[in-house]
Amino acid sequence: MLSQYLRWMRFVSEACRPVTEPAFATANKIVLETNAFRLRQFSEDNDANPVLILPPQAGHHSSICDFSPDNSLVRTFLNHGIRSVYAIDWKTASYKRAGETLEDLMTQTDQCATYLGRRINMVGLCQGGWQGAMYTSLFREKVNTLTLAGSPIDAHADGGKIQDALGTLPSAWFNWVVNMGGGIYRGEFQLFAFKMMNPYDRFFMDYWKLYDNIDDSDYVKKYHDFRNWYEFVHNLPGSWYLQVVDELFRKNNLIQGKIKLFNRKVDLKRIDVPLLLIAGSKDDITLPNQVFNAAKYVSTPSHLIAQFLADSGHIGLFMGKAALKKIWPEGIRFLQLHSDNRAGVLQKACG
């Protein structure tokens, strides 16, 4: 009886432990910093076309691209011959940044590209994908290749949970949420929204599994590592968040060429660089065709478009061992092929 009581108390203690800010797993240095981001360099800079990873701004920490030694997209690039790897580390939005728009986001992206000073292999993860696509349309001359991984480009394709939510919630609700945050979209609201997509798992099964494995120190450590990343939330500027909800997700204006920034139309037809598209077969956040349909709207020739379908969900696409071992190395070979400016064809789907 006493042992069960102690086990229960240990579970309560671990379940109630405060979250702490996660760290990037790979040694790096900050080479550029503003009030919105830090640009992190993970290697010596030896490539003509450096990789620039755009982590999503979706309420979570940017370390999703370098979560742990065994779950690191950064290390996957480094281990497969890419010698210049950078990632943007987004800062949580302060109230002073509440009025930032998509033009500000493009300016921040351009600050990183300008610092690198060469045509970059841009790698957009989830929300970082539409960011990268917009940037490539506007600044084509600065991009060597574009990777879209789990990125909602055709946001209406095949529906999905985000479209279900948009069909239920009026525009006024999103404005109200931003107003409740004082002009910023609070990360706590986004975290709750993600949890409500799978409420049984997030509010019951996660805790049941922790209790069931409370005597397994490795399991408990992994639980806290993931929870620190998942629940150490970031706020977003309210203005561009509302732009994204309305323009990209509600109206699907990115593929229609109806978004205008810097007095220029964001036209995906201006994208003609080699294009790497990666989706997850079990992804319920960004369905596969929301990624793959990007090929229909760009000017990149079909033989310069590579498509990969990973046997993973959304988060697993960026940090899951299966995707990092089976899918990303193939994608990296595609980027290397075209970083060397050699002709090549790579068009396949992998399970």
The per-residue pLDDT for range 143-180, each reduced to its tens digit, is: 999 999 999 999 999 988 888 888 888 999 999 999 99
Spans of all domains in the chain: 2-339
Query: Is residue 344 over pLDDT 60?
Result: no
Asked if 111 and 34 count as a contact pair (C-beta separation under 8 A), the reply is yes
pLDDT tens-digit map of 66-100: 999 999 999 999 999 999 999 999 999 999 999 99
What is the rounded average pLDDT for all residues in the chain?
A: 93
Q: What is the CA radius of gyration of the chain?
A: 20
Percent of the chain surpassing pLDDT 70? 96
Strand partners, 90: 37
* CATH H superfamily, domain 2-339: Alpha/Beta hydrolase fold, catalytic domain (3.40.50.1820)
User: Which residues have CB under 8 Å from 330's CB, separation 6+?
Assistant: 306, 308, 346, 348, 350
Q: Can you tell me the distance from the alpha carbon of 144 to that of 8, in angstroms, rounded to the nearest whole number?
A: 55
Report field, pTM of the whole predicted structure over 0.75 = yes
Sequence letter at residue 285: I
State residue 128's pLDDT score. 98
All residues at 6 or more sequence positions from 324 whose CB lies less than 8 Å from its CB, including other chains: 71, 72, 73, 76
The one-letter amino acid at 169? L
Alpha helices in 90-244 (DSSP H): 102-116, 127-138, 161-168, 171-180, 187-197, 199-200, 206-212, 217-231, 238-243
Q: Tokens standing for 194?
A: 């993600």
